[in-house]
Amino acid sequence: MRFPFPVAAEIPLYLAPMAGVSESPFRRLCRRHGADVVVTEFLSAEGIRRENPATVDKLRFGEDERPIGVQIFGADPQAMGDAAAFVTDVFQPEFVDINFGCPVKKVVKRNGGSGCLKDLGLVADIIRAVSRSTHLPVTVKTRSGWSEETRDPVGIALHMQDAGAKAFTLHARTRTQMYTGHARWEEIAAVVDALDVPVIGNGDIKTPEDVVRMQRMTGCAAVMVGRGSFGQPWIFDQAKALLRGEPMPATPAVEQRFAIALDHARMVEAYEVDPVGAAIEFRKHLGWYAKGLPNSADLRRKLHAVKSFGEVEGIFGDYLTRLQRGDFGDAPTGADDSSELESAAA
């Protein structure tokens, strides 16, 4: 099934739009490690149309990030159309994506994100308004419904396709599930069977093998990776090899992992104007890179206290010295901070 914008891969792998995570440096890093398509973190239509400096700043992207989509959210069709027009004229991405899936309370209380799913008439009005305001393909990302009582992924998908959506991403959970339970991949398969436009599968992708299992089980045209990319941007290259039937590249050794983390940190430092604020915000990424390593609890404690990027290299160097000396032995890796993963994903 043809995508509404040029993409080279037979089964493209998307980096999901995630608030506070899928910023330009991380998008560029994931592109280097095999992501075929990236999407900005979701941005307020009101902030865009009013040209709020902080919001507009998050629209910046480099040519090495293409193909890229800008994701917008809101419940006012006029504002959504105005935002799409501004994004098209000023930034010229490959597509405009509408967020109908974010479950966060501060978004849905204004009927944005998955809050729109309570009124499918409004959903259609938003898609049509955005489509009228741009020549770019308009795509959507959504959930299986607002609640279990209103769970109807196929009905929602058909409604959005009829309103003009050119591609459809399904995170196969309801809003009330948030990130609990399991994504129902069988719902993605049902939507694939029902729609004429490409369907992108999303939800519970944690490993490269998960990418392959979802694609084989659902027949989706592409797979979107969200939290599974945290601290392991190489998941894209690994998954692509498996999709081609090739041996999976080895997971980077500790030294390589730290080198990738430092590369990421340098890109963030060059991109952001506030070095201290950027370093503090980057702590979550450092914690994810350290996840699963020997004595990771102590390593993450140190990394979560940094106030400058210069500190990171020293902490990594000290850890590698101690690792080579065998200081950690068979020390436990420490518990994963799953709450941090959930709060970052949109």
Q: Which residues are annotated as a binding site for FMN?
A: 17-19, 71, 141, 171, 226-227
Cβ neighbour number for residue 64 with a 10 Å cutoff: 11
Contact between 112 and 73 (Cβ < 8 Å): yes
DSSP 8-state assignment for residue 69: E
341 token code pair = 């993963």
- Residues annotated within the binding site are 17-19, 71, 141, 171, 226-227
Cβ neighbour number for residue 210 with a 10 Å cutoff: 18
- What is the rounded CA–CA span in Å between residue 198 and residue 1? 6
3-state secondary structure at position 202: strand
* C-alpha closest to that of 336 among 259, 284, 264, 281: 284
Contact between 137 and 167 (Cβ < 8 Å): yes
3-state secondary structure at position 40: coil
- What is the rounded CA–CA span in Å between residue 216 and residue 223? 11
Which residues does the annotation mark as catalytic?
A: 102
Give CA angle at 37 (234, 161), nearest 5°: 135
Contact between 229 and 235 (Cβ < 8 Å): yes
CA 18, distance to chain mean position in Å, is 4
